[in-house]
Structure 1
Amino acid sequence: MSIKFKIIPFLILALFTCSSEDDNPPTVIIPEEEIYFPPINSDVWETKSIAELGWNNNELQPLLDFLEEKNTKSFMVLHNGKIVIESYFNNHTATSPWYWASAGKTLTTAITGIAEREGFININNKVSDYIGTGWTSAPLEKENLITCKNLLSMTSGLNDALGNNVSPDNLQYTADAGTRWAYHNVYKKLQDVVAQSTGLSWDNYFNSRLKNKIGMSGAWIASDDFNVYWSNTRSMARFGLLIYADGKWENDQIIPQDFLNDAVNTSQNLNQAYGYMWWLNGKSTYRLPQTQFQFNGSLIPNAPNDMYCALGRDDQKIYIVPSKQLVVVRMGQPADEANFALSGFDNELWLRINALSD
């Protein structure tokens, strides 16, 4: 059971004259609504109405019309774990699988944290400690600078302009690890690190430590030289709920909370808006894939500052907003044009979510 807390004034009414010590009423901590977790082996999932939340129901249909127009397949909104909106478009259904694209990088983040807690790896150790040397084309002394944490934070220093293939020939030195941020498919080597250190296949370790524990569907499917996760929409929402609940599912701490806290905060000093493969809103600057340019301002200005998100190619999204107790999922084809992660769609979508929920 996960419970959020809030502090409110405790007002005491008395018939007697209050002393000066009573001028500042004491406070008492009371629990807010518990986080709801759907059953692991059931399709049952409790709901909450827009009316219960005091949201503006008149803005719901415009939001859904916008989503359909923007090539959306599915859209879900959870409030403290309960479903508020669940809609499917363009011949997609609740059981249809769809690809997570790079939003699935955060699954690798989660498994890396679990493997570290179980003592198989240390993210501060060099990658070659686990998979041997020669996994890149970099000089050995440069390869040995690359830690698992560099892969999590996209600071490997390897050339990001050579495509998705992660064979040694394609992993070439550009800068020392930790000195350059660049969005790179080399993160996949963390899956090899986990497999080598645990003695299990990536799929088996993933299924036993994460997928089965929260009732996810789906599978890793090889595509374009790397694994892509496919699942139904509710499974993506289940993962988002696990992250919203600080890595806990009911009474089971699946992802270490300290590790997850590091994952959803700035992980290095080169890109404020990047954690461990989670994108962070509300920072003063950010960088994007395929460029070394630094942009000023927040990643998604219309979204809450405390939001963090998993962003995948062609507008696959998991948004998590602790201050609003929300998990929002969008799957589909690109809203406008093909993209690597962030797109103008994010800001347009949050304009409409705000109109509904504020």
Structure 2
Amino acid sequence: MKKIVKFGILPIVIILIAVVVFNYPRLNIITGFAAKSVCSCTFEAGRDLKSIEEGDNDINPVYYAKNEINFEEKSVSSTVFGLKKRKAIYKDGIGCVLVPENLEETISFKPKRNFIVTNLPYPYGNLPQKDTIFSNVNYKLLDFAVENAFDCEGEQEKRTRAVLVIYKDQIIAEKYVDGFNKNTKLLGWSMTKSITSAVLGVLEKQGKIHVNQTHLFPAWENDERSKITLNNLLQMNSGLEWLEDYNKISDVTKMLFLDKDMTKIQLTKPLVGKPNESWNYSSGTTNLLSGFIRNQFKAHQDYLDFWYAELIDKIGMNSMIVETDFSGNYIGSSYGWATARDWAKFGLLYLHNGNWNGTQILNESWVNYTKTPTKTSNGEYGAQFWLNVGGVYPNAPKDLYSCNGYQGQYVFIIPSKELVIVRFGLAENPIFNVNQFLSEILYSVN
């Protein structure tokens, strides 16, 4: 019997050793992802550990991490078989920050917020919207389209968490999976890139920047990178070296889970292509843009406050938090959190050409620029927004453009139909059929 037990355990031990040896170079990233994810989902979204580990952290090999929550300290520590412990800590106003290895937590910065309360219905205020029935909306078909975006009981394929449909500034459909509701903050992942673009749009409206300016960083002054324009960075068309691969140790995983200052990694990369002719999707570029925004201010506090005072709080996205790195830079590539309703407000700002209830937040020309296809992107990308000019979604209008995020986060803006459609989940195209999802909703609105 002892031999059976002995030889029964041995293969398991061998497998565990093999897992550790294979993943050891990645353990910092695995435990960093795990700690950051659990921290934000716990203290920003108010969710329990079981739902986080079975949902957000059920990615190979992240699910090997053991996570411990310290509610008194508001921190999370993660290890894999006791190795490579990483820690993320929650700070009011900036969310969860992943503490770099061998550094002590010394975070003292915090943006000022101005939560504007108005006696207006959603989306321009905090009161319930007035019931409005549109004669051209087939609500039975709309309900079917929304229900069809979610898994049936017992399924785990579409993995949709939230769907919100706004037509002519009115919510006409809204649904959440169990455990989520209209007050749950949701991570936009790369939808945050569009927020960063909008902040630059505000600076452009104020006359502080222009898209064709060059000589963006002192570190580039003595080489060809000095000729890179702000437009090149916004359109991901700079020609700078970058590898965006979340399945291995790459530029993006090192940046998000190892770097103290995420604005610097793209700054140090060489040119490997010709600006304006080398489209390459890069989260590093967006965080470099966050660094560029920081350079427009003399004081770090002014940089922290600007994103909220001039954009986020101005349009009532009161639930939104854009998390920072350890050095206090907004992680404009990836870490924006807000409710589905507040993400929809951002879409409405663009639907109305930068105008928010009578106040022009962005120039209309900036919104048009945002929707202009990047050269060499096949009509798929603008200025930190995705486009349908090239017909990625054949059953949707060509004027559709969107904020897109990892695992299928979307804010679709469709000017010709006066629609904003929001979807959050854990499965992306083609597993979650985006074209079908859009076409079913569009078919219900004539």
TM range, normalised to the smaller chain?
0.7 to 0.9
Partner of 1:182: 280
Pair 1:39–1:355, CA change in 2 (3 A):
closer
- TM-score w.r.t. structure 2 length? 0.61
CA distance in 2 between counterparts of 1:336 and 1:327 reads 19
Pair 1:152–1:46, CA change in 2 (3 A):
farther
CA distance in 2 between counterparts of 1:47 and 1:314 reads 33
Cα shift at 1:183? 0.6
Alignment of 1:129-148 (within 5 A): 129=216, 131-133=217-219, 140-148=222-230
Partner of 1:207: 308
- Contact kept? 1:142, 1:176, Cα under 8 Å: no
Given the alignment, which residue of 237, 242, 248 partners 2:355? 248
Given the alignment, which residue of 162, 173, 177 partners 2:271? 173
CA distance in 2 between counterparts of 1:318 and 1:200 reads 33
Moved over 6 A (4+): none
Cα root mean square deviation, aligned: 2.6
CA distance in 1 between counterparts of 2:138 and 2:354 reads 31
Could you tell me which runs of 5 or more consecutive residues in structure 2 were left unpaired when the two chains were aligned.
Answer: 1-119, 152-157, 244-249, 256-263
Partner of 2:91: none
Partner of 2:371: 264
* 2:189 alignment partner AA: A
| DSSP-derived class of the 2:227 partner | coil
| DSSP-derived class of the 1:329 partner | strand
Which stretch has the larger CA shift, 40-49 or 310-319? Answer: 40-49
| DSSP-derived class of the 1:198 partner | coil
Cα shift at 1:63? 1.9
Cα shift at 1:42? 1.5
Cα deviation code 1:68-127 (max 9, x no counterpart): 21211111111111111121113111111011111221111111111122122222122x
| DSSP-derived class of the 2:209 partner | coil
CA distance in 1 between counterparts of 2:427 and 2:268 reads 28
Partner of 1:313: 406
| DSSP-derived class of the 1:328 partner | strand
CA distance in 1 between counterparts of 2:351 and 2:267 reads 39
Cα shift at 1:207? 0.2
CA distance in 2 between counterparts of 1:141 and 1:282 reads 35
Alignment of 1:1-358 (within 5 A): 38=122, 40-49=124-133, 52-69=134-151, 70-126=158-214, 128-129=215-216, 131-133=217-219, 140-161=222-243, 162-164=250-252, 165=255, 166-167=264-265, 171-185=269-283, 186-201=285-300, 202-216=303-317, 217-222=319-324, 226-227=331-332, 228-268=335-375, 270-283=377-390, 298-335=391-428, 345-358=433-446
CA distance in 2 between counterparts of 1:41 and 1:146 reads 41
Cα shift at 1:184? 0.8
Pair 1:252–1:353, CA change in 2 (3 A):
same
CA distance in 2 between counterparts of 1:336 and 1:271 reads 18
CA distance in 1 between counterparts of 2:275 and 2:296 reads 22
Pair 1:239–1:93, CA change in 2 (3 A):
same
CA distance in 1 between counterparts of 2:368 and 2:163 reads 26
* 2:351 alignment partner AA: Y
Cα shift at 1:199? 3.1
CA distance in 1 between counterparts of 2:164 and 2:429 reads 20
| DSSP-derived class of the 1:75 partner | strand
Cα shift at 1:47? 4.4
* 2:289 alignment partner AA: L
Which stretch has the larger CA shift, 202-211 or 260-269? Answer: 260-269
Pair 1:85–1:158, CA change in 2 (3 A):
same
| DSSP-derived class of the 2:313 partner | helix
- Contact kept? 1:181, 1:271, Cα under 8 Å: no
Pair 1:67–1:90, CA change in 2 (3 A):
farther
Cα shift at 1:231? 0.5
- Contact kept? 2:344, 2:420, Cα under 8 Å: yes
Which stretch has the larger CA shift, 53-62 or 303-312? Answer: 53-62
Give the structure with the higher percent strand. Answer: 1
| DSSP-derived class of the 1:144 partner | helix
Pair 1:102–1:82, CA change in 2 (3 A):
same
Cα deviation code 1:44-82 (max 9, x no counterpart): 334433xx2333333234323322212111111111111
- TM-score w.r.t. structure 1 length? 0.75
- Provide the identity percentage: 25
Could you tell me which runs of 5 or more consecutive residues in structure 1 were left unpaired when the two chains were aligned.
Answer: 1-35, 284-297, 338-342
